[in-house]
């Protein structure tokens, strides 16, 4: 009797739409990310994940690089920024990470001083997950967030790319968050790559002087 020695696929810990903190191989934390897709093909049987915002949005990260958002303790909220702890090499006590700004401080007083002086707008991660269609479509659709682009000094309004699926069609919408309240469709594309390029190039003139979407 032949014995099947093949390894069973690992059940993914996360799913599309989950809020997570990404921790890179150097221990740097990137909180308030959104899983957009589970990948079981890059490493057969082993779950990897696409997530957003992320510079390398085309490359799936390992499951061990993620912390569930609810398990990444929020120490405080200052000026709308969620403050989390982060271990720093050669430091005994954890430092304080300010929202998605990638700014670290040893004390809460330093955090408050930074928040009062920075132009960085707090990242409303929940707004990107509001995929309601309202009356825009004549038939039911399924929606999936593909990419989120938060406000930055070179991007004055949040943007996202959303996949829409109806019974007979699939398309991708480039949307902007008007006045922080309502998502407005700017363009629609048949191909995901075209929508991603459009969103990344939306503020092209300003982006030539700034790094792209992180």
Query: Looking at the predicted structure, is the pLDDT value of residue 187 above 70?
Result: yes
Backbone φ/ψ region at 45: left (φ over 0), alpha (ψ -120 to 50), beta: left
Please tell me whether the overall predicted TM-score, pTM, comes out greater than 0.85 for this model. Answer: no
The candidate with the shortest Cα–Cα distance to 30, out of 84, 93, 108, is 84
Residue 178 confidence (pLDDT): 87
Domain spans of the chain?
19-70, 74-117, 125-207
Query: Looking at the predicted structure, is the pLDDT value of residue 73 above 70?
Result: yes
Residue 6 confidence (pLDDT): 58
| pLDDT tens profile 125-140 | 999 999 987 677 888 8
């Amino acid at each position: 009797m032949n014995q099947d020695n093949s390894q069973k696929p690992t059940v993914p810990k996360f799913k599309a739409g989950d809020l997570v903190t990404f921790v890179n191989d150097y221990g740097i934390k990137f909180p308030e990310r959104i899983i957009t897709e589970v990948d079981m093909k890059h490493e057969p049987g082993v779950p990897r994940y696409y997530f957003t915002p992320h510079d390398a949005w085309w490359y799936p990260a390992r499951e061990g690089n993620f912390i569930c958002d609810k398990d990444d303790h929020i120490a405080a909220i200052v000026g709308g920024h969620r403050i989390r702890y982060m271990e720093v090499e050669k430091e005994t006590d954890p430092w304080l990470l300010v929202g998605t700004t990638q700014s670290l401080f040893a004390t809460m007083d330093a955090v408050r001083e930074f928040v009062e002086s920075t132009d960085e707008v707090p990242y409303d991660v929940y707004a990107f997950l509001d995929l309601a269609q309202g009356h825009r479509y004549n038939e039911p659709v399924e929606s999936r967030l593909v990419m989120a682009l938060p406000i930055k000094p070179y991007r004055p309004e949040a943007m996202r790319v959303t996949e829409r699926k109806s019974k007979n069609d699939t398309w991708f919408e480039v949307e902007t968050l008007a006045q922080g309240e309502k998502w407005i469709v700017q363009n629609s594309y048949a191909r995901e790559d075209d929508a991603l390029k459009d969103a990344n190039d939306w503020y092209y003139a300003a982006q030539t002087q700034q790094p792209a979407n992180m």
